[in-house]
C-alpha cells in the first residue's frame, strides 16, 4: 500500500546511517529520492518541499558526526509522523453507542459497516448494523449478504423507501445492542439531497459518531471532500478505505490531516478483517519496516478466544484452574509466535529486564510440557496440586512422557505461577486479551515471572 514510500524512507535512513560523512552530495541524493517517493504517494507538493527543506537545514546544523545522523533520521521520522496525524485518536465505544457512516457512492460505506461490526463484536461488543440505504435497490441485499456470511446482525427492510420509517421500525430492537452501525445512502456529489437526508437521520437517530467514508484513490481530493462534509454535517472523523488498491493513499492520509478531520480507521482489502484502527506511529513504524507493536497486540487480543477466557475466568473465580486450562493459556501465547516475540511486544519491557535463560528454549519447554500433560490422569489434570505431594506421581509422569523429573517440576511451578498471576489480575478484561492488562500489571507480572521462573 505504502510500499514504495516505505522503501524510499528506509533507503534514505539506511543511506544516512551508513554514510561516513554527512555532506551535501549525500543530502542531495537523499532529498531527491524522498521527493520522488512522496510525490508518487500523492503527497502535497508543498509538504514535500517543507520536508526537504527541514532535512537540508538539519544537515547544515552544527551538530557533528553520529549525532547529526541520528538527528536527521529522527527528523525525517517525526516529519512523516506529523504529516499523517501524530497521535492516535480513538472512538470511545461503550454500550449504547451509535456510529453512522456517510459518504459518496461507492466510497465503501456498506462494506465498512460490516468490517466495523465485525471489529467491535470480536472485541466483545454486541453489535448490529442498520441498513438505511433506500436509494440503491441492491443495498439491503448487500448488507444482508455481508451479515449472513460473517455471522453478524443486520436490520434491513427491502421494501420501505423511507429511512426514518426503517429506523422507527427497529428502534426498540436496537436498544438490545451495545453498538449500532448505521449504513446510509450515498450520492454522486455532496448535494442538498444528501445533506438534508443525513441531517434528518441525524436528528432522529442521534448518533454518537458520524464518520465520513473516503476512498484512498481520491488522493489529495480527500481534503476538499472532508472539508465540505465537515461544514455541512459536522462529522466526527474519517475512515479511509481501499488503502490497498491505490498508490494515492499518502495523498488521502496527509490531506485529511490538513483538515480538522481525524482518521479513525483505514481499510486495506475486501476481506472482513481488513480494517485497522489508524495509528500514525505504528503506521510509520510499519512503512519503515520497524515492526508494528500495536497491530501485533491487536492480533493477540483476537487469537485469545474470548469465550474460552471468560469460561476460564469463571472457573478461576470458583478456585478451579486445571492443567488443561494452563495448556490452553500457553497455546494462546504460542499462536502469536514465539515467547520472545510476546515479551518484545509488551511496551517498556525489553528482553533486558527478563532474566537470562528464561526465554531460551521456551518453545522446547512447551513441547515437553505437552507430553507431560498428556501423561497425567484426569484427576491430576484437574487438581495438579496432588502431583507435588506425591513424588511417585512425578516419576510416573516423567517416565510416561520421556522427560526428566525436573521437567515435570518446572511445569508444575509454571502452572502455579500462572494460576497466581491470573488470580491477581482482577481488573483483567478478557474481551481485550493481553491488551486487557494495564502496562503496570504487565510489568508487575513480568517481575514476578522473572523472579520465580528460573527454570
Ligand atoms: N480493495 C478494497 N476494496 C474495498 C475496500 N473497501 C471497500 N471496497 C470495495 O469498494 C466497493 C464499494 O464498496 P461499498 O461498501 O459497496 O460502497 P458504498 O457504496 O459506499 O456502500 C466494493 O466493491 C467494495 O468491495 C478496501 O479496503 N479495499
Ligand atoms: Mg452501500
**pLDDT tens string 264-306:** 999 989 999 889 899 888 777 766 654 444 444 454 445 455 5
CA 184 to chain centre: 26
Per residue in 205-249, pLDDT (tens digit) is 999 999 999 999 999 999 999 999 999 898 999 999 999 888 888
Of the candidate CATH numbers 2.40.160.20, 1.20.120.530, 3.30.590.10, 1.10.260.30, the domain formed by 301-452 belongs to 1.10.260.30
Ligand 1 neighbour 241 (Cβ under 6 A): yes
Closest ligand to C-alpha of residue 274 is 1
Ligand 1 atom 5: residue of nearest CA: 242
Query: How many whole angstroms from 111 Cα to the centroid of ligand 1?
Result: 6
| Residue boundaries of the structural domains of the chain | 3-83, 97-289, 301-452
Query: How many whole angstroms from 276 Cα to the centroid of ligand 2?
Result: 20
Residues 190, 194, 200, 204, Cα dihedral to 10°: -90
450 has pLDDT over 50: no
Q: How does the average pLDDT of the chain come out, rounded?
A: 80
Minimum mean pLDDT range among 64-68, 331-335, 351-355, 437-441 = 351-355
**Cell digits of residue 61:** 546544523
- What local confidence, expressed as pLDDT, does residue 422 receive? 64
Measured distance CA(253)–CA(5) in Å, rounded: 13
Which residues are bridge partners to 97 per DSSP? 179
Q: Which residues surround ligand 2, an ion (CB under 5 A)?
A: 109-110
CA nearest to 120, candidates 433, 431, 436, 437: 431
Residue 329 pLDDT level (bands cut at 50, 70, 90): low
- What local confidence, expressed as pLDDT, does residue 355 receive? 44
Cβ contacts of 194-198, under 8 Å, gap ≥ 24: 194/102, 195/232, 195/233, 197/163, 198/100, 198/102, 198/233
Which residue of 100, 144, 270 sits with most ligand 1 atoms within 8 Å of its CB, as the best mutation to test the pocket?
270
Ligand 1 neighbour 145 (Cβ under 6 A): no
Name, of 65-79, 120-134, 291-305, the range with top average pLDDT: 120-134
73 has pLDDT over 70: yes
CATH superfamily for domain 97-289:
P-loop containing nucleotide triphosphate hydrolases (3.40.50.300)
The answer to whether the pTM exceeds 0.85 is no
Query: Which position has the grid cell 496432588?
Result: 386
Q: Number of helices (H) and strands (E), helices first, in the chain? A: 21, 8
pLDDT: which is higher, 351 or 111: 111
**Cell digits of residue 290:** 520497524
Ligand 1 neighbour 107 (Cβ under 6 A): yes
Ligand 1 neighbour 273 (Cβ under 6 A): no
22 has pLDDT over 70: yes
Ligand 1 neighbour 432 (Cβ under 6 A): no
What's the average model confidence in pLDDT over 156-167?
96
> Residue 92: left if φ>0, alpha if ψ -120 to 50, beta else—which one?
beta
455 has pLDDT over 50: no
Per residue in 357-377, pLDDT (tens digit) is 444 555 677 778 888 999 999
Closest ligand to C-alpha of residue 109 is 1
Closest ligand to C-alpha of residue 265 is 1
Residue 323 pLDDT level (bands cut at 50, 70, 90): confident
Residue 166 pLDDT level (bands cut at 50, 70, 90): very high
Q: List all residues 6 or more positions away from 398 whose beta carbon is below 8 Å from its beta carbon.
A: 372, 404, 405, 407, 408
CA nearest to 126, candidates 314, 268, 309, 306: 306
Per residue in 430-449, pLDDT (tens digit) is 444 444 455 555 555 555 54
Ligand 1 neighbour 105 (Cβ under 6 A): yes
**Cell digits of residue 68:** 547529526
Closest ligand to C-alpha of residue 108 is 1
Ligand 1 neighbour 135 (Cβ under 6 A): no
- What local confidence, expressed as pLDDT, does residue 305 receive? 55
Query: How many whole angstroms from 48 Cα to the centroid of ligand 1?
Result: 30
Minimum mean pLDDT range among 180-194, 316-330, 331-345 = 331-345
Residue 356 pLDDT level (bands cut at 50, 70, 90): very low
- What local confidence, expressed as pLDDT, does residue 110 receive? 98
Q: List all residues 6 or more positions away from 394 whose beta carbon is below 8 Å from its beta carbon.
A: 387, 388, 405, 408, 409, 412
Q: List all residues 6 or more positions away from 65 whose beta carbon is below 8 Å from its beta carbon.
A: none
Query: How many whole angstroms from 185 Cα to the centroid of ligand 2?
Result: 6
Percent above pLDDT 70 for the chain? 75
Ligand 1 neighbour 186 (Cβ under 6 A): yes
- List the Cα angle 298/215/263 in 5-degree steps: 50
223's enclosing H/E stretch is helix 222-233
**Cell digits of residue 346:** 509488551
Query: How many whole angstroms from 147 Cα to the centroid of ligand 1?
Result: 15
Atom of ligand 1 nearest to the CA of 101: 20
Q: Is the dihedral of CA 319, 325, 327, 330 positive or negative?
A: negative
Ligand 1 neighbour 111 (Cβ under 6 A): yes
- What local confidence, expressed as pLDDT, does residue 453 receive? 37
What DSSP string runs through 117-140?
Answer: HHHHHHTT--EEEEEE--SSTTHH
Ligand 1 atom 22: residue of nearest CA: 108
Name, of 70-74, 160-164, 249-253, the range with top average pLDDT: 160-164
CA nearest to 80, candidates 284, 295, 290, 247: 284
Ligand 1 atom 9: residue of nearest CA: 108
Percent above pLDDT 90 for the chain? 41
CATH superfamily for domain 3-83:
SRP54, nucleotide-binding domain (1.20.120.140)
Residue 347 pLDDT level (bands cut at 50, 70, 90): very low
Measured distance CA(448)–CA(455) in Å, rounded: 13
239: phi then psi, degrees, rounded to nearest 5:
-120, 130
Ligand 1 neighbour 245 (Cβ under 6 A): yes
Query: How many whole angstroms from 369 Cα to the centroid of ligand 2?
Result: 51
DSSP at 241: E
- What local confidence, expressed as pLDDT, does residue 440 receive? 56
- Inter-axis angle of helices 65-83 and 280-287, nearest 10: 120
Residue 66 pLDDT level (bands cut at 50, 70, 90): low
Minimum mean pLDDT range among 24-28, 59-63, 123-127, 270-274 = 59-63
Which residue of 2, 109, 111 sits with most ligand 1 atoms within 8 Å of its CB, as the best mutation to test the pocket?
111
120 has pLDDT over 90: yes
Amino acid at each position: 500500500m505504502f510500499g514504495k514510500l516505505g522503501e524510499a524512507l528506509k533507503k534514505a535512513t539506511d543511506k544516512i546511517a551508513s554514510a561516513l560523512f554527512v555532506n551535501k552530495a549525500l543530502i542531495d541524493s537523499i532529498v531527491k529520492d524522498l521527493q520522488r517517493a512522496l510525490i508518487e504517494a500523492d503527497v502535497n507538493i508543498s509538504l514535500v518541499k517543507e520536508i526537504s527543506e527541514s532535512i537540508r537545514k538539519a544537515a547544515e546544523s552544527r551538530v557533528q558526526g553520529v549525532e547529526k545522523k541520528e538527528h536527521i533520521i529522527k527528523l525525517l521520522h517525526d516529519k512523516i509522523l506529523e504529516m499523517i496525524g501524530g497521535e492516535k485518536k480513538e472512538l470511545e465505544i461503550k454500550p449504547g453507542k451509535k456510529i453512522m457512516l456517510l459518504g459518496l457512492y461507492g466510497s465503501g460505506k456498506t462494506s465498512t459497516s460490516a468490517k466495523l461490526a465485525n471489529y467491535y463484536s470480536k472485541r466483545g461488543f454486541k453489535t448490529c448494523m442498520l441498513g438505511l440505504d433506500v436509494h440503491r435497490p441492491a443495498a439491503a441485499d448487500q448488507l444482508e449478504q455481508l451479515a449472513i456470511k460473517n455471522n453478524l446482525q443486520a436490520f434491513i427492510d427491502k421494501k420501505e423507501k423511507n429511512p426514518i420509517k426503517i429506523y422507527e421500525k427497529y428502534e426498540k430492537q436496537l436498544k438490545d445492542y451495545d453498538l449500532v452501525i448505521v449504513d446510509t445512502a450515498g450520492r454522486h456529489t455532496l448535494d442538498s439531497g444528501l445533506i438534508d437526508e443525513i441531517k434528518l437521520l441525524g436528528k432522529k437517530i442521534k448518533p454518537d459518531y458520524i464518520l465520513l467514508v473516503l476512498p484512498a484513490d481520491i488522493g489529495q481530493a480527500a481534503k476538499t471532500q472532508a472539508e465540505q462534509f465537515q461544514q455541512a454535517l459536522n462529522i466526527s472523523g474519517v475512515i479511509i478505505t481501499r488503502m490497498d488498491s491505490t498508490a494515492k493513499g499518502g495523498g488521502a492520509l496527509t490531506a485529511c490531516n490538513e483538515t480538522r478531520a481525524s482518521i479513525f480507521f483505514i481499510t486495506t482489502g475486501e476481506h472482513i478483517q481488513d480494517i485497522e484502527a489508524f495509528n500514525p506511529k505504528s503506521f510509520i513504524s510499519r512503512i519503515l519496516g520497524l515492526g508494528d507493536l500495536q497491530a501485533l497486540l491487536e492480533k493477540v487480543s483476537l487469537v485469545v478466544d474470548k469465550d474460552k477466557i471468560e469460561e476460564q475466568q469463571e472457573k478461576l473465580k470458583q478456585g478451579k484452574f486445571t492443567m488443561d486450562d494452563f495448556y490452553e493459556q500457553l497455546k494462546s501465547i504460542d499462536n502469536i509466535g514465539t515467547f520472545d516475540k510476546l515479551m518484545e511486544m509488551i511496551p517498556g519491557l525489553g528482553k533486558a529486564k527478563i532474566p537470562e535463560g528464561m526465554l531460551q528454549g521456551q518453545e522446547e519447554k512447551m513441547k515437553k510440557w505437552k507430553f507431560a500433560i498428556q501423561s497425567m490422569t484426569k484427576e491430576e489434570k484437574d487438581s495438579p496440586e496432588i502431583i507435588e505431594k506425591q513424588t511417585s506421581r512425578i516419576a510416573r509422569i516423567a517416565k510416561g512422557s520421556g522427560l526428566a523429573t525436573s521437567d515435570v517440576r518446572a511445569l508444575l511451578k509454571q502452572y502455579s505461577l500462572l494460576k497466581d498471576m491470573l488470580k491477581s489480575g482482577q481488573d483483567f478484561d478478557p474481551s481485550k486479551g493481553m491488551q486487557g492488562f494495564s502496562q503496570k500489571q504487565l510489568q508487575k507480572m513480568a517481575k514476578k515471572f522473572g523472579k520465580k521462573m528460573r527454570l
